[in-house]
């Protein structure tokens, strides 16, 4: 049976380190600040924003929570982003995704000050990741995946990592991150997706599988070789009449059967999810440090 990689416990360790960094900054009269912008009333997004705001307050960060109506125009949102770009008390800005359909999300990301883009999606930060320039910001979920592997003492150097999914949120940035010529990287990375041929054959060759393909229980025991490490990025809600809510969260990995073959695995919930918020906080503190130089 696989060892469970506990994302909640590892996130708490990250917060412990951040508290020390935040105390040092406050001793210099500087408080890291994060602004989270929510457009509309998507309930999952609202819950996620609440959890980010709560963690900011627990860590003693300056927190700005900007909730805008669903009919907010592109111009109105750009104006608010511009205000936050110019606000010296705000070091990190995150515009919650997905926005309503009238908003051009790519244009909003490009309008962010790259030095405040703590989600790591601005083209300049994507370029810095590709170039191995650590002054940029890495998207929070890929950064969390790497931290999970490091804290679980999984050797990434020289390992064959197979990434399922090619999104700009997870698949592409995690591949770029783990293939870098750097500490906690140096992996041989293969990216597969829904159109890949011989997908099971490729995933069975992996030392580490990172699953972010967006399909509940897609990765089965047949995808995994004995002793592989499995990081499950998926968050999918499936019907389950046996629980009070009538549904539950599951990952992209069929946990029960894959855990019989893997050497280590992340659960859903409680694996990658807590690390995403922890890395957002870490990126915000990093943005503050860089701005204070």
Using alpha carbons, list the distances in angstroms from residue 141 to 69, 71, 181, 226, 237. Answer: 27, 29, 20, 26, 19
| Nearest in space to 55 (alpha carbons), one of 286, 288, 276, 228 | 276
| Nearest in space to 234 (alpha carbons), one of 178, 277, 195, 272 | 272
Peptide bond before residue 104 is cis, with ω within 30 degrees of 0: no
Is 96 an active-site residue? yes
Is 26 an active-site residue? no
| Nearest in space to 2 (alpha carbons), one of 262, 252, 208 | 262
Q: Which of 52, 116, 128, 286 is catalytic?
A: 52
| Nearest in space to 266 (alpha carbons), one of 106, 122, 149, 94 | 149
- Rounded CA-CA distance 10/120 in Å is 21
- Rounded CA-CA distance 9/22 in Å is 20
Contact 144, 278 (CB under 8 A): yes
Q: Which of 113, 116, 117, 119 is catalytic?
A: 119
Q: Which of 96, 113, 146, 232 is catalytic?
A: 96
| Nearest in space to 206 (alpha carbons), one of 133, 255, 258, 139 | 258
Using alpha carbons, list the distances in angstroms from residue 233 to 31, 181, 266, 291. Answer: 31, 24, 9, 31
| Nearest in space to 173 (alpha carbons), one of 212, 200, 205 | 212
Is 52 an active-site residue? yes
Distance of CA 12 to the CA centre of its chain: 16
Please give the positions annotated as active site.
Answer: 52, 96, 119
């Amino acid at each position: 049976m696989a060892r469970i990689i506990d994302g909640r416990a590892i996130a708490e360790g990250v917060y412990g380190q951040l508290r020390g960094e935040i105390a040092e900054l406050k001793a210099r009269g500087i408080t890291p600040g994060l602004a989270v912008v929510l457009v509309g009333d998507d309930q999952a997004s609202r819950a996620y924003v609440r959890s980010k705001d709560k963690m900011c307050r627990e860590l003693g960060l300056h927190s700005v929570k900007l909730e805008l109506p669903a009919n907010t125009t592109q111009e109105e949102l750009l104006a608010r982003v511009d205000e936050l770009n110019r606000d010296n008390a705000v070091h990190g800005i995150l515009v919650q995704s997905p926005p309503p359909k009238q908003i051009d999300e790519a244009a909003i990301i490009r309008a962010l000050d790259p030095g405040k883009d703590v989600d790591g999606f601005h083209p300049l930060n994507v370029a810095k990741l590709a170039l191995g320039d650590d002054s940029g910001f890495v998207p929070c979920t890929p950064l969390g995946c790497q931290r999970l592997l490091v804290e679980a003492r999984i050797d990434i150097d020289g390992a064959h990592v197979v990434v399922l999914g090619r999104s700009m949120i997870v698949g592409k940035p995690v591949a770029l991150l783990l293939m870098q010529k750097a500490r906690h990287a140096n992996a041989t990375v293969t990216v597969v997706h829904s159109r890949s041929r011989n997908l099971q054959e490729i995933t069975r060759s992996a030392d580490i599988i990172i699953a972010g393909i967006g399909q509940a229980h897609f990765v089965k025991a047949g995808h995994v070789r004995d002793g592989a490490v499995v990081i499950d990025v998926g968050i999918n809600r499936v019907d389950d009449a046996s629980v009070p809510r009538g549904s539950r969260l599951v990952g992209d990995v069929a946990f029960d059967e894959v855990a019989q073959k893997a050497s280590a695995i992340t659960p859903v919930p409680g694996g990658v999810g807590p690390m995403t918020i922890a890395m957002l906080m870490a990126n915000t503190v990093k943005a503050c440090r860089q701005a204070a130089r």
